[in-house]
Structure 1
Amino acid sequence: MSFAALADEILLKILSLCDVYTVLAISAINKRLRCITFDKQLWLILLRDDTFRETLELHPLGHKELENHSTEELVGLVKCAVAGPPRWWLAGPSSYSQPAHRIGFGVDLERYQDPCLLPGTRYMMLRGRVGDGLYMYEVRTSRRVWEYDANFFTTWAVDLAPGSPTARVVLLERSPDRTAYNISVEEINLAEGVSREVFFLEFGTKSRSLSTIVGDFLLLPPTRIIGAKAKLLLVNWRSSTYVPLDYGTSVNSTVELISGYLVVTYPDRMPPYQQHLSVINLDAFSQHMRPLTAASLSDEIPHSPVPIAADETLEYNGRPVGDFTVLVKLSALASALHRGAYNIVVYAGEIPQQPSLVAQMGHLLTEGRLPPAAVARPALLSFKFTPPLSPGRPCGLRLVSALRAAPGFGTARLSPRGALLRRALGSVVVSYYQ
């Protein structure tokens, strides 16, 4: 029996287990399947899936509120979340939904600073001006779900597992006597607002920045900055082990941590220093991990090579990408369309083609001066990364689009976000693109 010949109820059950891309692909097969794929209950199931909603950064509507939407409106929510606002890096408050979620603080708002939305836009973090401290709020209910008595010098990063009531916050703090630093990981039960410390390490060298945490891994800068060979430290906080990383230079290489993998960009060591995009399985580092102690963090040890799961040499219109005058930026986010896949975006400069000596002399003879120096033009390269479905199979990394970056894009976010956060009249307001 063919797939299309199955009963409607069975087809809907199968489709409810699929991702958006599969549902839309099946809808193009014939009229009957298109009718089935646009069943309202199917889209309600998709939109109620916490993992799916947090990946899309959808408006945190309750289940009853979703049921009041038509099928077309439900599909529209997904389309807006997937595509992002038109010219989203320039989109203003008028492009977002009204009324918005408003977390009221009144005059107490002046006591807080640096409000930011966490991935998924369900939670917001901010820092206290008076008495310091870190605070986490649930956007939809305005409920404070966590607070931490941090000092002014504390930096932090959050890992929110989609669909899970648990969050992990890694904190880098300076001791009260300013002679030492410590790294700790707090595990938070978001439903109960209870947290516990699951990792702690104190060391006596300076470090003021923190990168990210995903699952059992976090990225840290080396604690001995002067003379350190490693650009970053990959730390497994659960097993208290680490390995140094050395990719390119501090200004022309980037590293992102995703579930199970490390995504890196780095230039060749020889001219023309073309950029590479590589994805490395975290399991490949296991044989190079060493015990994490206060002393070992300062060791200068060379980075051992590990096998690369997927690699692409970066080009735009056949020209190599990697000019050192353009700061490389990298974004790796879970795909809203393909379950288990990631969208990787790289912003980098095309290496300009310098005129030949003959062309320079010709320009000098005709114009009386040498031609102006070629200028690097930034490009935006988008890739889709698909982890293997089973052990032993290869990863998928393919170029999806290559665009000339818009003017001013270097200061913008690399990926669209479905929400906008701003301060207004004693409140923090969160609006969602519609």
Structure 2
Amino acid sequence: MGKLVSMARPDLSYNNRSGNIPKSFEALRYLTYFNVSFNDLSGEVPISGSFKNFSSQSFMSNEGLCGDPIYGLPPCHTTGPKRRKLMLRVVFSLFGIIVLITIAMALEYAVGRYKRKNLVENTTDFAPGTTLSRFSFYELMQSTQGPWSELSGPAHFATSSSIYRGTLNDGRDVAVKVFDLQCQNAFKSFDVECEVLHNLRHRNLCKVISTCSNQDFKALVLEYISNGSLQKWLYSDDCLLDILHRINIMIDVACALEYLHNGYSTYIVHCDLKPSNVLLDEDMVAHLSDFGIAKLLGEGESSAHTTTVETLGYIAPVFTRTKPSSEIVSGELSLRSWINDSMPNTITRIVVVDSNLLAPEEEDYTEKLKCLSSIMELALNCSMESANERVNMKDVVVALKKIRFQLLT
């Protein structure tokens, strides 16, 4: 009957017919009337073609029929291949959702672990506990092209060292710090710098690329910081730092110290903080260097004392086993006594503010003066006689960033 393409009005009611209504009936274009009521038909009623125009009258009293509600029929229950396909879709969908959730949780865990492990961004390539790569003396000579040019003479009196500029075969400029082994503390200074620097990871600390060590020669191969030391920029007639540059440098140094004090498992006190040990890169970002007399305070140590300061720079007046800013044992070295003991006796007047930094005729003179006053107030809070009253470096970083924000706005 499905091949009777011109069939228009079939009436099969009351015929005791059984079975399904053929799907081929949907292709009968001229079908205007269809009646299969009062039979024993079963299965799904077609819904396409001319069947869209029929009503429930066409299918009544067929208990086995199912289909669209417009026919007054119960819905069909999916069975066989269709049901299996539906079940497969549901299973694969649930599996995909579970996989995505698992991946998301794994990524979240990995990111959280990475953040906990790396307290600062923009770090160096060395992970804590790794061993620095080493050059032999011959390899160091071979890996640097041409003669070294001396960047600085002896670093300080106790552990004299000289720094030279060289170029590796891959084109990188490096600074080679050569220790004078004739000096008493040179071996210890070299060991301290290796121990400190290869475990530290911070954008404001000078990075160690490699080492060279034998009984007769010890050197560190450091990243080359192109703009030289802060001392050159402060005291050279050819260099000029405006107030914003200086605040940015203060923030960089404070971030480095905050990491040394709080961001590593062992508390580290630099012990030789001065302008010549602060290096500036091509973007004027400050990098703290020269850890030759640094102190590492482990959990089992009660305190550490520095008996002699062999370099004219600022050394923290106190050390502690907990945090370098609290419950500290004073070495009777305050800021005022340090100035009196360290500065030459001929110096009777200290110029606090650089004349090039602040001039009354400037339009923003008042704002700059407020900024400088805030910095001096912060400096005094950092050098209080009582250790418990001193500001810790975390608060110093926050305060300096607030001062910079006020200056810019």
Please give the TM-score of this superposition, normalised by the length of structure 1: 0.20
Higher RCO (CA 8 Å, separation ≥ 6 residues): 1
Q: Which structure has the larger Rg?
A: 2
**More strand by proportion, 1 or 2?**
1
TM-score, L = length of structure 2: 0.21
More helix, by proportion:
2
